[in-house]
């Protein structure tokens, strides 16, 4: 491979990459004027257990460091349980519903502390 | 040139790694329309403030009465759902805080006026049922705490009310509630109350389809009649007093009281500031959010907040901070 070929190949690779990255960037970050905002559930570790944040457009709207709805200071036992409940809360937000969960919903989601 | 090739491979690898990690975050996300973002929206919620955090719960979302309760951190602008309110879902309940605990009771469940009463412990994060409110079951009352005693007055039990009841959180259930001096006159519901320097100020409200203009302060024992919020005096100070209405938000901050928005004929965005020393009201810059009824108002760390509530049948989730001395800036 000549030097020129290497430069051409590298140049094409960079252009292709820029295109691919730019496209995926556009998919996740709508431009100005868009009415769509991202809602993201982020689990975090706290007090030997787990909680979740629900971030709306990059800002933490809900910070859940205890299991909601039930009495007492309980944390989720696992990242998966925190995510399970956080996803339901995020889905309610996207469906124009109040983002609360009830004890009954926690039981249905098999969260042991709600039993 | 071998160096260049190595560099481009490294670049490709690192970009691929980046795109992979961003894929895993977007997987747990959702998209929604900003205009459809409703949050904890509701009207006629109960609220109280403990340790610089605002607790807000129950209320009405336009379809159903609610049982959920939230705590709002003003510094971080974040909500955390706490233990659900243990009584039936309701709106028009009252909330107050004393001695580090929160209290919520009375209200309306859609069929019945209510007299049950509960205490929230923010450390244990639990609710405890307390002695039922001893006055008639009602909604649209006001509540305030003075010297770690709670008071519930006014409201609607089928009639407009002006009776006044004192709650002692340290007393046994049988003697927790005692009836104390009623407001001199001015029966009303959906009134507003704020506390400045161990005195409660009660104003606004409706009775018999008319806005009440009687205005009183209460020191824990006795009511004092203040200048009415209407143009009734020969002097000119009250010539502009036109804000009598109901379902307004109220809070106090830095020794002054504030009445925000509410219903006065239609929805009003008016903001009025009360100075106890002179017993005078001054109109301030209108509320910047949508004019609304049944909003919550609270102050903490010398900052005032008004939010939630309803405008027509639409329940609102926005919260606004009010700086009484700031110049109006529509771009903030």
Out of B5, B25, B79, closest to residue A6 by CB = B5
pLDDT above 50 (res A36): yes
Out of A36, A56, A71, closest to residue B83 by CB = A71
- Examine the domain organization and report whether A83 and A43 are in the same domain: yes
- Examine the domain organization and report whether A14 and A59 are in the same domain: no
For range B231-247, the mean pLDDT: 94
pLDDT above 70 (res B271): yes
Q: Are the C-beta atoms of B109 and B65 separated by less than 8 Å? A: yes
Q: What is the pLDDT of residue B38?
A: 65
- Confidence grade of residue B330 (pLDDT, cut at 50, 70, 90): low
- Interface residue A65 vs chain B (CB under 8 A): yes
CA separation for the pair B128, B11 (Å, rounded): 61
Q: What is the pLDDT of residue B332?
A: 58
Q: What is the pLDDT of residue B65?
A: 97
- Examine the domain organization and report whether A2 and A49 are in the same domain: no
Q: What are phi and psi of A43, to 5 degrees?
A: -75, 150
| Cβ contact, residue pair A62, B84, below 8 Å | no
pTM: 0.84
| Cβ contact, residue pair A66, B66, below 8 Å | no
pLDDT above 70 (res B80): yes
pLDDT above 90 (res B203): yes
pLDDT 10s digits, B84-143 = 999 999 999 999 999 999 999 999 999 999 999 999 999 999 999 999 999 999 999 999
Number of domains in chain A: 2
Q: Are the C-beta atoms of A92 and A98 separated by less than 8 Å? A: yes
- Alpha-carbon distances, residue B69 vs A110, B56, B141, B323 (angstroms): 22, 6, 20, 27
| Cβ contact, residue pair A72, B73, below 8 Å | no
pLDDT above 50 (res A15): yes
Out of A37, A69, A87, closest to residue B83 by CB = A69
Topology at the third CATH level for domain B38-318: Neuraminidase (2.120.10)
pLDDT above 80 (res A9): no
pLDDT above 50 (res A28): no
Q: Where are the domains of chain B?
A: 38-318
Q: What are phi and psi of B13, to 5 degrees?
A: -60, -45
CA distance A70 to chain B (A): 5
Q: Which domain holds residue A12?
A: 1-35
pLDDT 10s digits, B8-36 = 444 444 444 433 333 333 223 345 444 44
- Examine the domain organization and report whether A53 and A105 are in the same domain: yes
pLDDT above 90 (res A105): yes
Q: Are the C-beta atoms of B292 and B279 separated by less than 8 Å? A: no
- Examine the domain organization and report whether A56 and A91 are in the same domain: yes
CA separation for the pair B217, B223 (Å, rounded): 6
CA separation for the pair A24, B202 (Å, rounded): 58
Q: What is the pLDDT of residue B43?
A: 97
- Examine the domain organization and report whether A85 and A102 are in the same domain: yes
Average pLDDT, chain B: 89
**What is the SS3 assignment for B77?**
coil
Provide ipTM, 2 decimals.
0.84
Q: Are the C-beta atoms of B32 and B281 separated by less than 8 Å? A: no
pLDDT above 50 (res B6): no
């Amino acid at each position: 491979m000549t030097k020129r070929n290497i430069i051409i190949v590298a140049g094409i690779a960079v252009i292709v990459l820029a295109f691919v990255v730019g496209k995926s960037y556009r998919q996740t970050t709508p431009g100005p004027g868009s009415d769509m905002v991202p809602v993201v559930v982020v689990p975090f570790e706290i007090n030997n257990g787990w909680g979740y944040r629900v971030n709306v457009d990059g800002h933490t709207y809900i910070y859940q460091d205890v299991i909601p709805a039930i009495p007492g200071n309980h944390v989720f036992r696992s990242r998966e349980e925190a995510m399970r409940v956080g996803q339901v809360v995020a889905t309610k937000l996207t469906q124009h519903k109040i983002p609360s969960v009830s004890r009954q919903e926690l039981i249905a989601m098999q969260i042991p502390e709600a039993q | 040139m071998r160096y260049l090739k190595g560099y481009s491979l490294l670049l490709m690898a690192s970009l691929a790694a980046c795109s992979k990690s961003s894929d895993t975050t977007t997987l747990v996300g959702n998209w929604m329309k900003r205009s459809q973002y409703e949050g904890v929206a509701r009207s006629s919620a109960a609220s109280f403030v403990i340790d610089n955090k605002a607790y807000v719960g129950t209320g009405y979302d336009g379809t159903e009465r609610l049982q959920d309760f939230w705590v709002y951190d003003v510094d971080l602008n974040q909500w955390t759902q706490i233990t659900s309110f243990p009584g039936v879902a309701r709106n028009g309940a009252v909330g107050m805080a004393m001695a580090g605990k929160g209290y919520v009771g009375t209200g309306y469940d859609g069929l019945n006026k209510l007299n049950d009463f509960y205490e929230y412990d923010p450390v244990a994060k639990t609710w405890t049922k307390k002695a039922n409110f001893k006055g008639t079951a009602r909604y649209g009352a006001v509540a305030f705490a003075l010297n770690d005693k709670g008071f519930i007055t006014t409201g609607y039990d089928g009639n407009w009310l002006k009776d006044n009841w004192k709650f002692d959180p340290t007393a046994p259930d049988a003697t927790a509630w005692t009836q104390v001096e009623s407001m001199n006159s001015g029966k009303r519901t959906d009134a507003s109350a704020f506390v400045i320097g161990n005195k409660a100020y009660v104003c606004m409200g409706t009775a018999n389809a008319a806005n009440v203009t009687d205005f009183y302060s209460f020191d824990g024992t006795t009511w004092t009649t203040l200048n009415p919020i209407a143009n009734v005096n020969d002097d000119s100070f009250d010539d502009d007093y036109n804000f009598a209405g109901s379902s307004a938000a109220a809070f106090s901050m830095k020794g002054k009281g504030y009445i925000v928005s509410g219903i006065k004929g239609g929805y009003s965005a008016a903001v009025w500031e009360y100075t106890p020393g002179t017993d005078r009201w001054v109109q301030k810059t209108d509320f910047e959010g949508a004019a609304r009824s049944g909003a919550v108002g609270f102050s903490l760390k010398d900052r005032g907040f008004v939010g939630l509530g309803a405008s027509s049948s639409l329940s609102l989730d926005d919260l606004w901070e009010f700086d009484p001395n700031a110049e109006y800036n529509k771009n903030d």
